[in-house]
Amino acid sequence: MQKAEAKIPKGYRNTKQRQAILEILESLEIPVHAEDIYMKLKEKGMNISLSTVYRNLEMLMSEGIVVKSHMMNEDKARYGLSDKKHFLVCESCGKILIIDNCPFDVFKKELMEVHQFDITGHSIEVYGICPECKTKNKKKISA
């Protein structure tokens, strides 16, 4: 199974900033804050501004390539390619895992019938405590 490569959609110019933003998003396992993208590109020596990042993210969202999500307990949004949209978040350390087998489709049909909605998408975030944090907490208690 090959990774689908996100490309700049037709009708938009191929600028190096735009290209770089897409590459960053592809290289990441989890969705990130707009400023993370900005910082990573700055570190690479690229001349880019935060507004360019935001403007491109907005364009990519409108084209369905990027999905925006808000984690509980976070004040800023995260952005990621649209195939990474189901998360398992550790409430203790903030670690984020991607859930790749989404069981939602089973439920989707029922939901469409009951509410007569045409379902276009969904977003799932699951919160919990990761194995590492569970271990740390045990140590604290027994110490």
Partner DNA sequence: CTTCCTGCAAAGAGTTTGCATCAAA
Partner DNA sequence: TTTGATGCAAACTCTTTGCAGGAAG
- The footprint of DNA (CB under 7 A) covers 12-18, 33-35, 46-52, 54-56, 58, 75-77
* Residue 99: Cβ-neighbour burial (10 angstroms; 0-12, 13-18, 19+): middle
Which of 31, 36, 23, 20 minimizes the C-alpha distance to 79?
31
36, two tokens: 């993370």
**Bridge partners, 88 (sequence order):** 97, 126
Q: Establish if 141 lies at the interface with a second copy (CB under 8 A).
A: no
CB of 65 to a second copy, least distance (A): 15
* Owner of token pair 């360019």: 52
CB of 78 to a second copy, least distance (A): 11
56-75 binders of a second copy (CB under 8 A): 67-70, 72
**Is the CB of 45 or the CB of 131 nearer to a second copy?**
131
CB of 26 to DNA, least distance (A): 17
**Is the CB of 12 or the CB of 107 nearer to a second copy?**
107
How many C-beta neighbours within 10 Å does residue 122 have? Answer: 13
Our CA dihedral for 40, 43, 45, 49, rounded to 10 degrees, sits at 50
92-131 binders of a second copy (CB under 8 A): 97, 99, 103, 106-108, 110-112, 115-131
Q: Rounded to the nearest 5°, which phi and psi values hold at 30?
A: -125, 160
Using CB under 8 A as the criterion, which residues of the chain lie in contact with a second copy when the complex forms?
67-70, 72, 77, 88, 90-91, 97, 99, 103, 106-108, 110-112, 115-131, 134
